[in-house]
A = this chain, B = another copy of it.
């Protein structure tokens, strides 16, 4: 089963695609570019949602729901937003079908043409700020801290499961504030929430920073982001948090009366992470045998495989397993007993390895005699025999250890693949090798574009609180005061 995966070294991209499909995370649908998220994949996404949702609520945010459709004219209101966003979109033009007069199925009813086309939301700033206009009158109505979990559609030409699909699931926060400082603070707060989630839950170390103007969100004053480094040396943007200034407030005329009784435009942020995180999770930790899931996000943390020849052996093992499962569940550990009699242990081992279950127990007649269990770690593939006494506590510690170890491994990988380049030749060589390349840049969009054209590398971010250091732009030699991070990216 696991053998069917293309090895990473042979074709990383094929390995990723194989893995997503064979581990039952997702698959392509009959609708071009749209995926089906399968139950096992969705269970991981649900865990992500649940953790993130708690983090948002703990920081004072509430959920709400805004319409899927946005009137076309709304997109024209914020000038740079329309440039960046309203182009590759699904457009609803009609609201009725009818029977084909020739009797061949159904056709669009041309009498049911909308006066104004509706755009399937690619992001919801426009419809939300149109709504906020009625919600915000006074400083008492601020801050407004709202998040929505939703599906969005962007008509991508080249799609890849989780990483880039025409429809994807995400959360989008949209907040309104009385002051600029407060809005910036909010954007940074969320960046820290995202960082904590990526590192502590997904086990994916991320760099934090600001996007260069070329890479900024259409309509933002500043875009904060977190970037992870995948095993093939390419960067993956894992989340963004935008300080929108007063751009949307001005476009949608959202003013408030201050304490001093003056009228001012509201300050805004928006921020989101999406099912793309599933791609980051897969690509950060998994190996040629399949998924490696961080215990905190694994739908099944421990799988128990019985080793038996005769039904009475299975019976005896099952009785023992019942007690073990009770003990593990009592500690909040999710555990599955794979007692299928249609598959052999070897097949089951490969299947659960493919699906990334962090810990596997194998338990046979001899274990019953010795009160032991064979415990295998998915991340290192190491096995050991453990006494069953206090097994709950032992597994709890092991899961914590695996969680840390997965993160540390990814962090070590990133460290080994982070480089400084001080000349153009050095830069080109390092970018070809893959990884994050810290280099000086003269700050101009033109230079950024030239570097991209020549190397396919983009500025992933300008580090936050990065070390100030005088240097010269690797391309133009113009002076620079800080290194920025370049990489090829997804």
Contacts and interface: CB of A to CB of B under 8 A. Distances in A.
A245 to B, nearest CB: 22
Contacts of A169: 65
Contacts of A43: 62-63
Given A86-B97, A93-B91, A46 B63 contact: yes
Interface string A51-69: 0000000000011111111
B62 A42 contact: yes
Contacts of A98: 87
Interface in A66-101: 66-76, 82, 86-98
Contacts of A105: 72-73, 75-76, 82
A52 to B, nearest CB: 14
A206 interface: no
Contacts of A89: 95-97
A31 B38 CA distance: 32
A123 to B, nearest CB: 14
Interface in A120-142: 120, 127, 130-131, 134, 140
Contacts of A117: 108
A64 B46 contact: no
A297 to B, nearest CB: 15
A477 interface: no
Given A93-B91, A95-B90, A151 B68 contact: yes
Contact of A106 (B38, B72, B130, B134): B72
Contact of A37 (B65, B68, B69, B140): B65
Contacts of A151: 68, 150-151
Nearest to A88: B96
Contacts of A34: 67-69
Contact of A342 (B29, B66, B140): B140
A93 B96 contact: no
Contacts of A202: none
A155 B29 contact: no
Contacts of A127: 29-31
B69 A167 contact: yes
Contacts of A66: 29, 36
Given A70-B31, A106-B72, A118-B31, A96 B155 contact: yes
A146 interface: yes
A35 B169 CA distance: 20
Contacts of A39: 62-64, 146
A277 interface: no
Nearest to A77: B105
A39 B63 CA distance: 6
Contacts of A71: 30-31
Interface in A21-44: 27, 29-31, 34-39, 42-43
A119 interface: yes
Contacts of A45: 65
A297 B369 CA distance: 51
Contacts of A91: 92-97, 108
Contact of A64 (B37, B72, B342): B37
Interface in A142-159: 146, 150-151, 153, 155
Contacts of A38: 64
A345 to B, nearest CB: 18
A264 B82 CA distance: 52
A103 to B, nearest CB: 11
A106 B86 contact: yes
B67 A93 contact: no
A461 to B, nearest CB: 30
Interface of A: 27, 29-31, 34-39, 42-43, 45-46, 62-76, 82, 86-98, 105-106, 108, 117-120, 127, 130-131, 134, 140, 146, 150-151, 153, 155, 167, 169, 342
29 contacts: A27-B134, A29-B67, A29-B130, A30-B71, A30-B131, A31-B69, A31-B71, A34-B69, A35-B67, A36-B131, A42-B64, A45-B65, A65-B169, A68-B120, A69-B167, A72-B106, A75-B97, A87-B96, A87-B98, A88-B95, A89-B96, A90-B92, A90-B94, A90-B95, A91-B92, A92-B92, A92-B120, A140-B342, A150-B151
Query: Nearest 10 CB-CB pairs, A to B?
Result: A76-B105, A39-B62, A34-B67, A37-B65, A91-B94, A95-B155, A31-B67, A93-B93, A90-B92, A39-B64
